[in-house]
């Protein structure tokens, strides 16, 4: 029996919950909303680190808790362009057209707050095959791209677009497990 308090996951993402379940972490969920607009000239690395840190800080502030809080942020990046979640079908198709036949990066930052604040980042290269307009439209109509950075889910139907991946699969899904486990162990959280 674990007598330690659970960590708090500052995220509504079912994918992040599944990944924490996968490594046996005891947690509760308290999702927070923050403005996810990139700052002018903000690098992708600084962007995901800032958002993850803001999410964990907002959670601690709102709950006034002493429990450890874990937050994460994921961005799909092509060149210097940060691709967030699509606003609508036109936005999703525009992103998929840009990713078609290209290698892009997926940045995922994690933020863990307890007595201290620690962060880690995973950067993964993902290469898409060339996509047809018909399959991009069909993919949009599957509903999967709607709440996904870059308009695709590598753990779902979007996996058929990926020819190669170099880095962390779980990081592309939304929570890099190696980096997350390392931080949690530093905080004494059992896995």
Task: Check: CB of residue 44 under 8 Å from CB of residue 105.
Answer: yes
Four-point Cα dihedral 105, 119, 25, 170, nearest 10? 10
Structure tokens at 149: 């950075």
Which of 35, 188, 172, 22 is closest to 114 using CA atoms? Answer: 188
Annotation says 73 is catalytic: yes
Structure tokens at 159: 């996996």
Distances (CA, A) of 1 to 4, 19, 103, 186, 190: 9, 21, 45, 20, 11
Start-end of H helices in 69-116: 89-99
Of the residues 21, 33, 35, 73, which is catalytic?
A: 73
Four-point Cα dihedral 15, 17, 20, 22, nearest 10? -70
Which residues have a catalytic role annotated?
73
């Amino acid at each position: 029996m674990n007598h330690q308090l659970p960590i708090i996951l500052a995220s509504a993402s079912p994918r992040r919950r599944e990944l924490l379940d996968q490594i046996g972490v005891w947690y509760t969920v308290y999702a927070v909303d923050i403005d996810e607009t990139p700052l002018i000239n903000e690098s992708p690395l600084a962007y995901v680190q800032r958002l993850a840190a803001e999410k964990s800080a907002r959670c601690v502030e709102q709950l006034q808790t002493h429990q450890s809080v874990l937050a994460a942020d994921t961005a799909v990046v092509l060149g210097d362009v940060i691709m967030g979640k699509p606003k609508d079908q036109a936005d999703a198709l525009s992103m998929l057209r840009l990713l078609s036949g290209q290698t892009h990066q997926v940045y995922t930052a994690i933020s863990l707050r307890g007595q201290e604040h620690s962060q880690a980042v995973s950067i993964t290269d993902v290469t898409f095959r060339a996509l047809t307009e018909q399959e991009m439209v069909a993919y949009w109509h599957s509903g999967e791209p709607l709440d996904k950075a870059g308009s695709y889910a590598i753990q779902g139907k979007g996996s058929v677009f990926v020819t190669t991946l170099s880095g962390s699969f779980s990081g592309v899904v939304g929570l890099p497990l190696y980096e997350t486990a390392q931080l949690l162990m530093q905080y004494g959280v059992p896995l």
